[in-house]
Amino acid sequence: MAEANKEEQGTEEQGTDEPTAEGQSTQERLAMFKQHRGLLFAIAYRMLSSISDAEDMVQEAWIRWQSTPTVVHSPKAFLSSLITRLCIDQLRSARVKREQYVGVWLPEPLMTAQQSMGNAKPDYAELAESLSFAFLTLLDCLSPTERAVFLLRNVFDYDYSEIAAIVGKSIPNCRQIVRRARQHLAQRRPKISPEPQQKEAIVTQFLSSWNEGNIQQLVALMAEDITLFSDGGGQVTAAQKPIQGCQKVSRFLVAIRNSSLVPDFTVQAMPINGQPGLITLAGQSLQSTLSFAFSQGHIQSIFVVVNPDKLKVASLL
């Protein structure tokens, strides 16, 4: 949210405290926006799965917030509505662009969990799950409006009356959207997901086995029908299509580790999108992020981001 911060800093440096058309000063507006900025980014990132796009939407919300001519009695409701509508429009446009994307499109990895928390439900495990690559990619099966309604209700715990006002639909319609979305996502989500401590243990074992090049140990950690997704954005070498099956995925990973065509890299544990993950580094340069989805004590999916544009955004957080 660097650009939004620049906008705010500029306002503070000017020291402007002149009232708006209806009496709220610029400094009052600034304080209100700062109070809810974390929530705005949290909604925007889960809507768009993109840090850069989320930051752009927060900046646009800041610009529109400043120019609002009337007194806003409920800043949270106003700003939540504003950011959600901006994100719905942005997601419609982004989906058209993603149809021309080279290879698999994955979310931009988020390595600063605190920035994305907002004012969501206090249950950390549930909150972290709503940031995971597995969850965000599942949400792609929903329309932009369905995604907004589902997130506002299930993650941010908004009342149906608030959601209806934000998306311009009736309360019964919003209830129906949430019910259908839950059913649709339930069919695709793993039935049993390990506890956080078990996930960390699995990733630690994965890191050790990968460093050793031990295919048998890697296979033992994976579900038989595991899928590896790799996002290079057409800029660097990456698997253009998902790789399926524990034998193929494990051999692919070991081949990368041993390839003379790949610069030497080290692997470190790093929370990615609220879940145990890994990063690879060539010197001090971030080369990739690895995120995982789990089912019944095994790795069900691996999401590898090597697109340098996405990594550049992640490394700046």
pLDDT in tens, 66-125: 988 888 889 999 999 999 999 999 999 998 888 888 889 999 999 854 444 444 444 445
- Is residue 192 very low, low, confident or very high in pLDDT (cuts 50, 70, 90)? low
Query: What was the pLDDT predicted at 317?
Result: 55
| Lowest-confidence segment of 24-28, 162-166, 171-175 by average pLDDT | 24-28
| Gap between the Cα atoms of 147 and 43, Å rounded | 11
- Is residue 259 very low, low, confident or very high in pLDDT (cuts 50, 70, 90)? confident
Length in residues, the chain? 317
| Gap between the Cα atoms of 233 and 97, Å rounded | 12
What are the Cα distances from residue 214, in Å, to 226, 229, 267? 17, 21, 15
If you average pLDDT over residues 43-58, what whole number do you get? Answer: 95
Environment class of 68 (CB within 10 Å of its CB; exposed 0-12, middle 13-18, buried 19+): middle
Longest dimension (CA), the chain: 69
Q: What is the mean pLDDT of the chain?
A: 86
Query: What was the pLDDT predicted at 12?
Result: 41
Residue range(s) in the chain whose domain bears CATH number 3.10.450.50: 196-315
pTM of the model: 0.86
CATH number of 1-100: 1.10.1740, 2.60.40, 1.20.120, 1.10.3470?
1.10.1740
Is pLDDT at 268 greater than 70 in this prediction? yes
Hey, what CATH topology would domain 196-315 get?
Nuclear Transport Factor 2; Chain: A, (3.10.450)
| Gap between the Cα atoms of 106 and 42, Å rounded | 18
Is pLDDT at 9 greater than 90 in this prediction? no
The alpha carbon torsion through 38, 112, 294, 253 (nearest 10 deg) reads: 150
Residue range(s) in the chain whose domain bears CATH number 1.10.1740: 1-100
What are the Cα distances from residue 235, in Å, to 101, 137, 231, 245? 11, 21, 10, 26
| Lowest-confidence segment of 218-232, 249-263, 275-289 by average pLDDT | 249-263
